[in-house]
Amino acid sequence: MTSFNARRVRNDTPLFTRVINERPITYLDSAASSVPPRAVIEAMSRHYERRHANVHRGVYQTANESTHDYEHAREAIARFINAPGGANEIVFTKNATESFNLLAKSWRAANLQAGDVVLISEMEHHANIVPWFQLRDALGIEVRFIPVNDDFRLELSSIDELMKGVKLVSVTAMSNVLGTINPLKELAAVAHRHGALIAVDAAQSVGHSATNVAELDVDFFIFSAHKMLGPTGLGIFWTRQAILADMPPFLGGGGMIADVSTAGYVPAKGPTRFEAGTPPIAEAAGLGAAVLYLEGLGMDDVHEYERFLTEDALTRLEAEFDGRIRVIGPSNTFERGGVISLDVQGVHAHDVAQVLDQFGVCVRPGHHCAKPLMKRFNLSATARASYGPYSLVSDTDVLLEALSDAVKLFG
Amino acid sequence: MSNLEDLYREVILDHYRSPRNRGELATPPAIRVEGFNPLCGDEVVVYLLVDGDRLLDIKLTGHGCSISQSSSSLMSAAVKGKPLDQVRETIKKFKQLMTVHESSLETTSKPEVIDARTLGELAALQGVVKFPVRIKCAVLAWNTLSQALDEVSA
C-alpha cells in the first residue's frame, strides 16, 4: 500500500458530503466523469465573481486577468502532458468528442483521400469511431479495426499486415470498458515505421497516470477536462506544432481569424485558429486549478494508489462471488486501470445499477458508448465501477455489499 | 429498501426468470416488429398472428433488463387470444399506469389509481413509476405491440 492520502483528497471534494438513500454517496463512476475538488470549483467561481470578462479582446484589468487564466490553463496542460512545443500546441474544444471531430475534419482535409485507411480498434469509444465512419461515407476512406483478443488486449500479432495503406492509427490509451492500458509507445513506433501518424484517445488515462507525449512519440493526444478533476464543457486537442500549422481551420467565426474583409478572411495562426467564438473561460480556469491539484498529488502516486484499489477489488470480487460475477477486462493490474466492468450472471446491468443505487452506489450500466466492443464479447451491457484519487477501500466494501444484495434479490 | 421491493415484485422476477410466450412465429402469416431502446440497448421482437379482429397468437424474443423482459412476458399473457379492440384497450390502460404524475413526484400520494383488477398481473409493474428512468424499459414491448397493431390495420 502506498502512503497516498486519498482521505485528504476526499475531504477536498465537496460532492462526498452528499447522502443518497440515507447513505453517504459511494461514487464509482469516475470513468464517466471525475469529481472536482473545491479548488477547481473555487477557480470557476472566482472567474464569475471577480473577473467575468471575455478573453483576448479587452484592455481593462479584469479582461487581462481572464485572458491570463485562460492562457495559463493552456500552459498548465502543455506542462502536464509534456508537450514539446509548449502551450502553442494546445487547442481547447468543447469535449474530447469535438477534439476527434477536429482531427477528422481538419487534419484529414490535407492528408486523407479516397482509399486511404484509418486504423482504429475494437475497443474504441464511439467518439473515435463515428467521425471516421462519417469520413468513410463522405470521402471513401477505409476504416479498419485492430481486433481485441480473448485476454481483452489488442491483438497485434498481424499489425504489419493491418498497417497496409494506413495513414492514421487512432487508438485509446485505456479502454473505458475493459480498463486495458494499450502499448502506445509500441504502436507509435509501428505507425511511424509505416509512414503513418498516431492519434490517442487519452480521456481515461490522463487523470489517472503520468503523461509524456514527447516520450511516447505520438502525434495527436485527445482528452477532456472533466475526466481529470476539471469541469465539463472543455476538451483538449494536442498535436505537434508542425502538424498544427498545416491544419486548416475547423469552425469559423470570431476569435479564429487574423483578418476579415468583404473579400474574405485570413485565419489566425496557432491554436486560436481552432477556437471560434467565446471559449469556455471559467472552465479553463477550473482546468488550470485541476492540473495544479493533480500535480500536487503526483500522477505516479495516483496511478499506484488506483492500481492498489483495483487489485483489492478484483481479488475480493473473485473470492466473494466465485464466478457469479465476471470481470470483463484483464486481471493483471499492471496492464489495466481502475475501470471495472462487471457481468453479473443472470442479472441485467440496469438491474444491478438500480439495486446499487439503493446503497448510494453510483455505477454506470450500459454499453458505455463502445458497442463494437460489447458485441465482440457478446454482451449487451455491463455495470461499470471506476475509481478516482478520492476513492477508498471502503467504497469497494459498499460496492460488494450492494452486489451481494443484487445477487440475492435475483436468486 | 421498500421502494426496491416495490419495483422488483415477485411476479416480475418470476416473469423475468420464466418468460411466457417466448419464441418466434412463421412470417407470414405472422408479422414481426422490432422495438429498440438505443439508450440502454434493450431489444424486443414481437410476432403477431391476427385472425380477423382477434389476436390469435403472440411470441416474443429479445434481451434486456428484468423490467423490459418481464413487461414483455406479462404483456403477452395479457393479450394473447383477445379481441383486437380489447388488446388496444389494455395497451391504453397500461400506458396510463406508466404515466408519471407530477404530484406523485412531489408528494408520497399515489398516482391516479387505475383499477388494478382490470389489469390483473400487470398491476405488478406499477412500482416502476417511482423509478422514472425505468419507465422506458416497461413500455418498450407495449410500444412495439402498438406499432405491430398499426401495421396489421394498415
Q: For residue A2, what pLDDT band results from cuts at 50, 70 and 90?
A: low
Place of cell 459498499: A398
Reported as a pLDDT band with limits 50, 70 and 90, residue B114 is low
What are the structural domains, with CATH classification, of chain A?
A: 6-30+298-410 (3.90.1150.10), 41-296 (3.40.640.10)
Residues of A with Cβ-Cβ distance to B43 under 8 angstroms:
380
Question: Stretch A345-374: mean pLDDT, rounded?
Answer: 94
What pLDDT, on the 0 to 100 scale, is given for residue A322?
A: 86
pLDDT at B111 over 90: no
End-to-end CA gap in chain A: 36
Q: How many residue contacts between A and B have a Cβ separation below 8 Å?
A: 47
Helix, strand, coil shares of chain B, percent, nearest 5, are 55, 20, 25
List chain B domain ranges. 2-153
Contact B65 A358 (CB under 8 A): no
Average pLDDT rounded to a whole number, residues A46-70: 92
Closest by Cβ to A351, choosing from B1, B63, B65: B65
Nearest chain A CA: its distance from B20 CA (Å): 17
Give tens-digit pLDDT for A22-35.
999 999 999 999 99
Q: DSSP letter string over A272-312?
A: GGG--SS--HHHHHHHHHHHHHHHHH-HHHHHHHHHHHHHH
Supply the pLDDT for residue B98: 87
Mean pLDDT to the nearest integer, B7-18: 89
pLDDT at A368: 93
Residues of chain A contacting B39 with CB distance shorter than 8 Å: 366
ω into B29 cis (within 30 of 0): yes
Closest residue in A to B132 (Cα) is A354
Higher pLDDT, residue B110 or A165 = A165
* Beta-strand relationship, A361-362 and A26-27: parallel
Instruction: Supply the pLDDT for residue A11.
Output: 97
Identify the pLDDT of residue A125: 98
Residue A4 predicted with pLDDT over 90? yes
* Confidence category of residue A237, pLDDT binned at 50, 70, 90: very high
Q: Reduced to 3 states, what is the DSSP secondary structure of residue A334? A: coil
User: Helix A38-46 and helix A281-297: axis angle, to 10°?
Assistant: 150
**Lowest-confidence pick of A126-140, B75-89, B107-121:** B107-121
pLDDT score recorded for residue A388: 98
Over residues A233-243, the mean pLDDT reads: 97
Residue percentage of chain A with pLDDT more than 90: 94
> Å from B38 to nearest chain A CA?
10
- What does B70-109 look like in DSSP terms, one character per residue? HHHHHHHHHHTT-BHHHHHHHHHHHHHHTPPPHHHHHSSS
The CA radius of gyration of chain A, in Å to the nearest whole number, is: 22
Distances (CA, A) of B137 to A351, A371, B150: 11, 19, 21
Mean pLDDT value across residues A62-85? 96
pLDDT for the residue numbered B3: 75
**At a CB cut-off of 8 Å and minimum separation 6, what does A203 contact?**
A96, A125, A127, A172, A176, A222, A223, A224, A227
- The predicted-structure confidence for A117-166, as pLDDT tens digits, reads as follows 999 999 999 999 999 999 999 999 999 999 999 999 999 999 999 999 99
Is this prediction's pTM over 0.90? yes
Residues of A with CB under 8 A from a CB of B: 347-351, 354-355, 358, 365-367, 371, 374, 380-381, 409-411
Residues 6+ apart with CB under 8 A from A315: none
Contact A409 B131 (CB under 8 A): no
Report whether the peptide linkage leading into residue B28 is cis, meaning its omega lies within 30 degrees of zero.
yes
Does residue B106 surpass a pLDDT of 70? no
ipTM of the complex: 0.83
Query: How much is the average pLDDT of A201-208?
Result: 98
- Domain B2-153 fold: Sufe protein. Chain: A (3.90.1010)
- Contact check, Cβ <8 Å, B8/A381: no
Q: How far apart are CA A105 and CA A109, in angstroms?
A: 6
The question of whether A369 is a catalytic residue gets the answer yes
Q: In sequence order, what are the beta bridge partners of A220?
A: A199, A239
> What confidence score (pLDDT) does residue B2 get?
58
Question: Given pLDDT bands bounded at 50, 70 and 90, which one contains residue B122?
Answer: confident
Rounded CA-CA distance A139/A204 in Å is 30
| Contact: B64, A366; criterion CB under 8 Å | no
Nearest to B41 among A355, A367, A411 (CB): A367
CB atoms within 10 A of CB A153: 20
